[in-house]
Amino acid sequence: MLLHGLGDSYHFSFSLCILGESGVGKSQLVACTLPEPPQLPESTDAIADHGIRTRAHTYESRGARYQILMWEVPGAPRYQGVAARYASMAAGLILVFDRSRRATFDRVQLWLKAVESSSPNLPKVLVGNKSDLTEEVSSAEAGLLAQQLECEYFETCATKNQVVPEAFSTLIAKVVAQIPNPPEPSLLLKKRVQIGKQLAENKAFRAALLWTVMYGWSGRCKSSGFGGSGAMGATAAICVSPPHVSKPNRLASQC
């Protein structure tokens, strides 16, 4: 579930990079993860450098909170170089095309190629948006591409918020499932995940970090008083291990 207004109260933080041609509906897809539609015109959305739109969300699953930054890269070809920069910091990719415009489908692999040199093997999903319009790309053809890319495929209608939660939840679950257990900082960095304030200030976790400096991670669970099976349920204190998500909690159902 996506929550808002939680400030810095989260355990882990990571980013998702949303790629695709202009006009495929990237902004609307992201807006569908918000509790209410954006009140400002699209041109006044929060902007990061290089024209990248960014929105911060908080996702909750089984007692752990995750701050998620969603980076929407403009679809003009000149932004492919910028896409590589942002993808190099992201933990997952959303590749979007417009099912009613074949050219946007044909260029999906160009966007992926632009970022793969810096970001090989990132978790990703393929999204065919505007499923309510007359299709120029069949479900079978898009599904075949998803198989080649080794990712799941979703057909969405962002204007009606159809299947959008499933697409985002699936990718988020993939990222969360890769968070190492225990969350040793150097391994987190390799997965492009950062420790949040909620976890950093946890006494058991800080004790484990001190143990790591002295002895390494081996045996740290019993000595520091946390760990056990499952992500959050084995201890009375806030657990430092991410949940192993088999079926992700759904995002907000309204956009």
Does the pLDDT value for residue 132 go beyond 80? Answer: yes
pTM: 0.79
Concatenating the DSSP letter of every residue in 225-243 gives: T---SSSSSS-SSPP-SPP
Residue 197: the pLDDT is: 83
Is there a contact between 38 and 55 (Cβ–Cβ < 8 Å)?
no
SS (H, E, C) 184-227: CHHHHHHCCCEECHHHHCCHHHHHHHHHHHHHCCCCHHHHHCCC
Does the pLDDT value for residue 73 go beyond 80? Answer: yes
Mean pLDDT for 78-93 is 93
Residue 243: the pLDDT is: 40
Average pLDDT taken over every residue of the chain: 79
Which of 16 and 186 is assigned the larger pLDDT?
A: 16
Residue 209: the pLDDT is: 67
Does the pLDDT value for residue 158 go beyond 80? Answer: yes
Residue 248: the pLDDT is: 44
Which of 143 and 207 is assigned the larger pLDDT?
A: 143
Mean pLDDT for 121-148 is 97
Residue 3: the pLDDT is: 43
Residue 199 has a CB neighbour count (10 Å cut-off) of 22
Q: How many angstroms separate the Cα of 117 from the Cα of each of 147, 192, 205?
A: 20, 16, 34
Residue 35: the pLDDT is: 63
Mean pLDDT for 170-181 is 91
Q: How far apart are CA 123 and CA 4, in angstroms?
A: 25
Residue 187: the pLDDT is: 86
Mean pLDDT for 229-245 is 35
Which of 77 and 129 is assigned the larger pLDDT?
A: 129
Q: Which of 105-114, 191-200, 210-219, 240-249 has the lowest mean pLDDT?
A: 240-249
177: pLDDT confidence band, cut at 50, 70 and 90?
Answer: very high
Both structure tokens of 178: 């890769």
